[in-house]
């Protein structure tokens, strides 16, 4: 809207088509913004048939500041703090630029409140992946346009990369990590790719039809994290009293059920697939957890635990 305001102030007689082209959005988006500026912000916007564009029918000293509630300020602060985890990565500059544009539309009073709130809240994360903004931009554009992409990819166990041709469906961020979900034409099936391991991504410009029945929610239904679950099983874990409260305070999976056991222990059950991310999470609790079911998970945890012990003793 600030760009529209600038064009109107400069008496350039912008219209929906020219602004949509310049801002790389749809004409409907421009029309919606103009209507909001005229009807909600009471700006004197009118259409000039001869010039085939919009103009200010009266002088506008400055663009009206956006009024936000206290709750919206807190949400804005959380967004700002979330951006900080990308400090030092290629994502930092564009994210900060976008945030600065948003803050610039606030009034002086809201800006002061935002500064005060920022002193009370902070984020601290570990293992934040290295950002690759160029890769993300190529993939995001291809996802929205339903166009095939090609890139070199190295899997977790491979020593060299392999060329992949993919029909990109979705870009989820799971556990501070960006992934691409799409139809792998080389494997003839839907696969998940970690963005940091994608190199040389390029849009082939070839349009494809995404299956109407594709659903990210359904695909990850039985997954504990990012790994696709094949067969889902009921996982039962027993936690000691010393960590019971920590486990109870969070939702680890939407299917989880928690039951308090004698002696202060806690039992957590959930229906998920047995995948590497689940095994790693269980091992992270060390001796504070016991796998009750299934036996296959218990055996994998035991075997991995022995391997860890063998390398560290």
The CATH number of whichever domain residue 193 belongs to comes to 2.30.30
CATH number at residue 17: 1.10.10
- The mean predicted confidence, pLDDT, of the chain is 84
Q: Which residue has the tokens 């870009």?
A: 171
Distance CA 200, CA 153 (A): 9
| One domain, residues 78 and 14 | no
Residue 102 forms part of a structural domain: yes
Residue 125 lies in a domain: no
Q: Are 306 and 241 part of one and the same domain?
A: yes
Same domain, 105 and 35: no
Structural domains of the chain, count = 4
Outline where DSSP puts E strands in the chain. 45-48, 53-56, 147-153, 162-170, 173-174, 177-184, 189-194, 198-207, 232-239, 257-260, 266-273, 289-293
Judge if 178 and 208 occupy the same domain: yes
Which pLDDT value is given to residue 312? 86
253 belongs to a structural domain: yes
Omega of the bond prior to 231 within 30 degrees of 0, cis? no
Window from 12-16, 60-64, 148-152, 268-272 with minimum mean pLDDT: 60-64
CA distance 16 to 101: 22
pLDDT (mean) for 31-56: 86
Task: Looking at the structure, tell me whether residues 187 and 256 fall in a common domain.
Answer: no
Please determine, for residue 202, whether its predicted confidence score (pLDDT) is greater than 80: yes
Residue 64: inside a domain: no
**pLDDT for res 130:** 63
Is 61 within a domain? no
Q: Is residue 201 part of a domain?
A: yes
Quick one: 241 and 301 in the same domain?
A: yes
Residue 230 in this model has a pLDDT that exceeds 80: no
Is 158 in the same domain as 92? no
Same domain, 138 and 208: yes
Range of the domain at 98: 70-118
Distance CA 279, CA 274 (A): 7
Six token digits for residue 74? 């807190």
User: Is the domain of 40 the same as that of 96?
Assistant: no
Residue 222 falls inside a structural domain: no
Please give the share of the chain, as a percent, with pLDDT higher than 90.
Answer: 37
**pLDDT score at 257:** 96
């Amino acid at each position: 809207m600030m760009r529209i305001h600038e064009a109107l102030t400069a008496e350039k007689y912008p219209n929906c088509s020219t602004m949509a082209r310049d801002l790389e959005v749809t004409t409907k988006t421009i029309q919606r913004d103009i209507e909001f500026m005229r009807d909600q912000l009471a700006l004197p916007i009118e259409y000039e048939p001869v010039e085939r564009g919009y103009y200010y029918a009266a002088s506008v000293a400055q663009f009206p500041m956006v009024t936000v509630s206290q709750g919206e300020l807190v949400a804005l602060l959380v967004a700002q703090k979330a951006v900080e985890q990308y400090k030092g990565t290629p994502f930092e500059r564009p994210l900060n630029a976008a945030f600065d544009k948003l803050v610039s539309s606030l009034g002086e009073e809201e800006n002061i409140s935002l500064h005060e709130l920022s002193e009370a809240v902070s984020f601290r994360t570990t293992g934040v992946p290295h950002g690759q903004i160029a890769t993300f931009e190529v993939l995001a554009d291809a996802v929205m346009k339903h166009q095939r992409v090609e890139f070199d990819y190295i899997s977790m166990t491979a020593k060299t990369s392999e060329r992949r041709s993919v029909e990109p469906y979705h870009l989820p961020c799971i556990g501070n990590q960006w992934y691409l979900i799409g139809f792998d034409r080389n494997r003839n099936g839907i696969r998940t790719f970690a963005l940091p391991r994608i190199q040389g991504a390029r849009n082939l410009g070839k349009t494809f039809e995404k299956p109407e029945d594709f659903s990210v929610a359904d695909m990850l239904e039985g997954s504990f994290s990012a790994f696709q679950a094949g067969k889902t099983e009921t996982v039962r874990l027993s936690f000691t009293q010393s960590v019971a409260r920590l486990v109870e305070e969070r939702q680890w999976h939407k299917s989880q059920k928690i039951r308090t056991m004698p002696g202060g222990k806690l039992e957590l059950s959930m229906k998920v697939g047995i995948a590497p991310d689940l095994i790693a999470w269980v091992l992270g609790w060390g001796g504070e957890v016991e796998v009750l079911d299934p036996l296959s998970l218990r055996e994998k945890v035991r075997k991995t635990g022995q391997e860890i012990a063998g390398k560290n003793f």
